[in-house]
Every structure is written in C-alpha cells, then in structure tokens.
Amino acid sequence: MSRVAVVTGGTRGIGAAISVALKNAGYRVAANYAGNDEKAKAFHETTGVPVFKWDVSDYAACGEGIAKVESEIGPVEILVNNAGITRDAMFHKMTPQQWHEVINTNLTGLFNMTHQVWTGMRDRSFGRIINISSINGQKGQMGQANYSAAKAGDLGFTKALAQEGAAKNITVNAICPGYIGTEMVLAVPEKVLNERIIPQIPVGRLGEPEEIARCVTFLASDDAGFITGSTLTANGGQFFV
C-alpha cells in the first residue's frame, strides 16, 4: 500500500502543486485547506485529491483533522507543512494582530500539525516531515518582520526535530523557496515586484510552484533517507546561504 501524505495549504499555490506531484508519484494524498471552499472544491474536482478543512493555527482542530485523515485514508507517513500567510507591513505600521496571525499560522502551525503525527511516526519507525520555509526566513525582508521571524523559526524547528527523529527513521527537512509565481507573491505591489524584487533574481524570473513540488517529492522519497535537518534552497540564485 502506498504511503499517506498530508499537505497543509494543499489546495492552492505551491501547496496545490505539491499535492499533485505527490499524487503523481504514487502517494495517497490528503490536501488540507483553511478557508477557501470554492478553490478547494475546484482543486478536488480537477485533481481527485481529497480535501480536508481545518486551521493549522488551531491545535485542537489539527488533532481532529488528522484523526479524520487517518480514519479515512490511513496513518500519516509524510507531512508537508506548507500552509502560510502574509500580513506585510513596515514594522512601524505593523499591528499586534498582523504579528500574531503570521506567527500562529507560519510557525505555531508547524508545532500544531507535527505534534499530531509524531508519535505515530515514532511507533512505526518511519516518517518524513517537510517544512516549507522561505528565502525571507534566511535573509529577512523589509515589510515582513513577522513572516521572516516565523520562517526563520521554522528552520530552527526543523534542525531540532531532525535530531530527535533520526533514531526513529524520521527525517525532518526544510525547503526555502524564493519568489514563486503564486497569488501570495503577485499580491506584492506591482511596482515593488518589478522594480525591486525580480531584478534581484539572477535567473530573471519568478519560480514555478512545480519547481518546489519536485524538491518535496525528492525529500519524501526513500532516496532521501540520509538527508535530515537540511535546508534545500530554491530561489533562482537570489540568495546564497
């Protein structure tokens, strides 16, 4: 029986590409989403991937969501923590709400989700946790003190948990996408995107969601069993760690 993968934020943007790539690679995929029922329904109809609604910033909801996935599909062996939001503002204009919303989803969401599947992975001596961080967690980004802090936190989480999972054959890795052509990036003011961001990308273009999805299928595979605690950077040469 093929392995079960959960992709948070798996019905739109990078997450949708990840769900489809894992399905095409033979996994049984559950795509989580938080809010947009219409997009989720359309995604399900187009791809056949089952969709499950809960908010990753809510610990209890994550527990219920994972229990539902496990009863309908099977024990989760691969978790892709992809769900993320932006609330961009210069720091002097950033509200506590903008700070907390981003931290709760983009950082605490990793705890809330991973905690639900970790014991099962330990018991079965197999697991793959793949955390979608960001170039902006590596280099920082003006207008994103909240997002950069959360995404940098995701990298610390990845490295700590990799050490705990290693003896149980659970790998924990992060991917840091650069600017990918999704709704999230296209929400950046056009002038900023064209004049400030794209000129900083040596390959001269935004990335494609499928280019990140291929990184995920590799890290999920048996071939990647010796890779843990690592950060795979895919940013068109914009930033070297």
C-alpha distances in Å from residue 121, one per residue of 24, 70, 77, 118 = 23, 12, 6, 5
Least distance to ligand CAA from the beta carbon of 135, Å?
Answer: 5
The Cα 200–Cα 207 span in angstroms is: 13
Give the pair of three-digit tokens for residue 161.
């948990």
Write out the two tokens for 67.
């229990």
- Tell me which of 196, 205, 210, 225 binds ligand CAA, using CB under 6 A: 196
| Two tokens, residue 93 | 């204009």
Instruction: Give the DSSP H/E element, type plus range, for residue 80.
Output: strand 76-81
Question: Cβ closer to ligand CAA: 47 or 82?
Answer: 82
Number of residues counted as binding ligand CAA (CB under 6 A): 20
By CB under 6 A, is residue 118 in contact with ligand CAA? no
The question of whether 147 is a catalytic residue gets the answer: yes
Closer residue to ligand CAA in complex, CB, 27/147:
147
User: Nearest approach, Cβ of 100 to ligand CAA (angstroms)?
Assistant: 17
Tokens of 79: 């978790």
Helix (H, G, I), strand (E, B) or coil at 192: helix
Among 33, 54, 147, 157, binds ligand CAA (CB under 6 A): 147
Contact characters 71-110, ligand CAA, x per CB under 6 A:
---------------x-xxx--------------------
Burial of 239 (0-12, 13-18, 19+ CB in 10 A): middle
Which residue is it, tokens 């940098």? 152
The structure tokens listed for 141 are 């980004």
Site string for ligand CAA, 124-143 (x = CB under 6 A): ----------xxx----xxx
Q: Catalytic one among 27, 33, 59, 147? A: 147
Catalytic residues: 147
Positions that interact with ligand CAA (CB under 6 A): 86, 88-90, 134-136, 141-144, 147, 179, 184-185, 188-189, 192, 196-197
